Amino acid sequence: MAGVSTKEIKNRIRSMQATRQITKAMEMVAASKLRRAQSQVLSARPYFEALYGTIHDIVDANSDFASPYLQKRDGNKVLYVVIAGDRGLAGGYNSNVFKLVMAELAGKEATVLPVGKKAVEFFKSRNVNTLAVHYGDAANVSLGDCFTVAKLLSKAFLKGGYDEIYVAYTSFVSVLTQTPAVLRLLPLIRQETGKEGERVSDILYEPDSVRVFEEIIPEYLGGMLYGALCESRAAEQAARRTAMDSATSNADEMIDKLSLEFNRARQAAITQEITEIIAGS
Amino acid sequence: MTPFSLKIVTPDGVRYDGQAEELVVRTTTGDVGILAGHINYVAPLGMGEAAVLVDGQKRYGACIGGMVSVVNGAVTLLPTTFEWADEIDPDRVEVSREKAEEILQNNASGTTDILLAKARLKRALVRKSVYSRKNR
């Protein structure tokens, strides 16, 4: 009776150790990938911020609204670029973005451009209209790809294919915190700052505002997409590292508990045997 | 000359952040020189040389794509790629130029390939000419 139970416990300990080894390895891999992704984010972030800041300064100072990129439309056709990961086992990383996007999509005539295998699969299973599924590999999307997508998107926007374009990504706040976010890319809507002194006064556009925006907006979109991608990648690794770290410590705890149980069962078996021998003699 | 604050930021990181006396860049409509006290200004960038005057010393860089803006006296250069003359690898430029020319001379190349090769050749030539200014 006791012999069967010690064997069972032994097997469970062994399988737990195997799992622990896997989670530990995944944690280490994520940690080393995180370091690379983190340095990429840190170098891309100033560009991301400067680009966003400058474009918004320019838009806020614009007074002729001649460019179609600055005009708000009443339509309901929206496009979401959703950046998620290629693999699971990263805590809530993928599902947090999806939850946010699904909530935003409600009641809109929406199309999604998924980036990352998980995103492609998720929107396929939900029967959401998707565009170009060939960005199924988030880890290999390059800066060049971002600019290609940006050009396509701005063309589609000008043609009236979409009235609004958003990007959904996960922002890498720190190694321990990552928050999903949705950012509107187009149209660029002018914000009234209210304080006249703070507003940038008239801007000289060369050759003219329509053509300046025509040239700059695809660059802006490309830069923003790249920035969002860098943030998401770092966030994915950080989320995976944290998830695997807690999985490893859970496994450790489990192994400790089972070892204790195993030793008790073994001791009980020995005690019983001795008792039987003494009683028999 | 009066200095102004200049920032050159690319997706790969900050390439310059500090004071400068003069900036000359190639926009899509031609070369533009910017001095302190410039009016608020935006222009898309073409492919070309950028020259920055810092402490009376001229520094050259290969500046490709993006935009230049002046907002309340602060100049921001946001190119897609930017390399200072001493960061350019002449061997890589030469390889890139040869490859582009090969595609251009091949009659079987498609239209998109030709467009890409033309842009590539242009970039290689810009980098080459910037590199040649390195030791001046």
Using a CB-CB cut-off of 8 Å, the residues of chain A touching B31 are none
Q: What is the CATH number of the domain that holds A173?
A: 3.40.1380.10
The answer on pLDDT for B68 being more than 80 is yes
In a domain, A34, yes or no: no
Q: Compute the distance between CA of residue B52 and CA of residue B59 in angstroms, rounded to an integer.
A: 5
What average pLDDT does range A137-158 have in this prediction?
Answer: 84
Which residues of A lie inside 8 Å of B (Cβ-Cβ)?
43-44, 46-47, 50-51, 54, 57-58, 61, 143, 147, 200-207, 212, 215-216, 219, 222-223, 226-227
Mean pLDDT for the stretch of residues B90-118:
84
Query: Is residue A14 domain-shared with residue A67, that is, in the same domain?
Result: no
Which of B40, B43, B67 shows the shortest C-beta gap to A200? B40
Token pair 């149209």 is found at: A187
Q: Per residue, what are the HEC states of chain B?
A: CCCEEEEEEECCEEEEEEEECEEEEEECCEEEEECCCCCCEEEEECEEEEEEEECCEEEEEEEECCEEEEECCEEEEECCEEEEHHHCCHHHHHHHHHHHHHHHHCCCCCHHHHHHHHHHHHHHHHHHHHHCCCCC
pLDDT computed for residue A193 by the predictor = 56
Q: What percent of chain A has pLDDT over 70?
A: 92
Is B10 an 8 Å CB contact of chain A? yes
Q: What is the mean pLDDT of residues A205-218?
A: 84
Are B11 and B77 members of one domain? yes
Per-residue confidence (pLDDT) for residue A201, from 0 to 100: 62
Contact B32/A206, CB-based, under 8 Å?
A: yes
**Which CATH number does the domain housing residue B97 bear?**
1.20.5
Range of the domain at A92: 43-190+202-242
Do A140 and A215 fall within a single domain?
yes
ipTM of the complex: 0.79
Which ranges constitute the DSSP H helices of A62-188? 93-105, 117-125, 143-159
Residues of A in contact with B39 (CB under 8 A): 203-204
Residues on chain B touching A226 (C-beta within 8 angstroms): 11
Contact A212 B42 (CB under 8 A): yes
For residue B24, tell me if it sits in a domain. yes
Report whether pLDDT(A197) > 50: no
Q: Which residues in chain A are contacts of B67 at CB distance < 8 A?
A: 54, 215-216, 219
CA distance A228 to chain B (A): 12
Q: How far is A151 from chain B (nearest CA, A)?
A: 13
* Contact call for B44 and A216, based on CB within 8 A: yes
| B9, B74: one domain | yes
B9 interfacial to chain A (CB closer than 8 Å) = yes
Output the average pLDDT for chain A. Answer: 86
Cβ A254 vs Cβ A18: under 8 Å: no
Q: How many domains does chain B have?
A: 2
- Number of structural domains chain A divides into: 2
| pLDDT tens track for B22-53 | 999 999 888 999 999 888 888 999 888 899 99
Range of the domain at B24: 4-86
Residues constituting chain B: 136
Host H or E run for residue A8: helix A2-61
* Domain shared by B37 and B100, yes or no: no
Confidence of residue A138 (pLDDT cuts 50, 70, 90): confident
Task: Please name the residue that has the structure tokens 């915190």.
Answer: A177
Q: At A235, is the pLDDT very low, low, confident or very high (cuts 50, 70, 90)?
A: very high
**A52 neighbourhood in chain B, CB within 8 Å:** none
Confidence of residue A151 (pLDDT cuts 50, 70, 90): confident
Structural domain includes residue B51: yes
A272 near A2, Cβ under 8 Å? Answer: yes
| Residue at B57 is within a domain | yes
Q: How confident is the model at residue A186 (pLDDT cuts 50, 70, 90)?
A: confident
Report the percentage of chain B scoring pLDDT > 70.
99
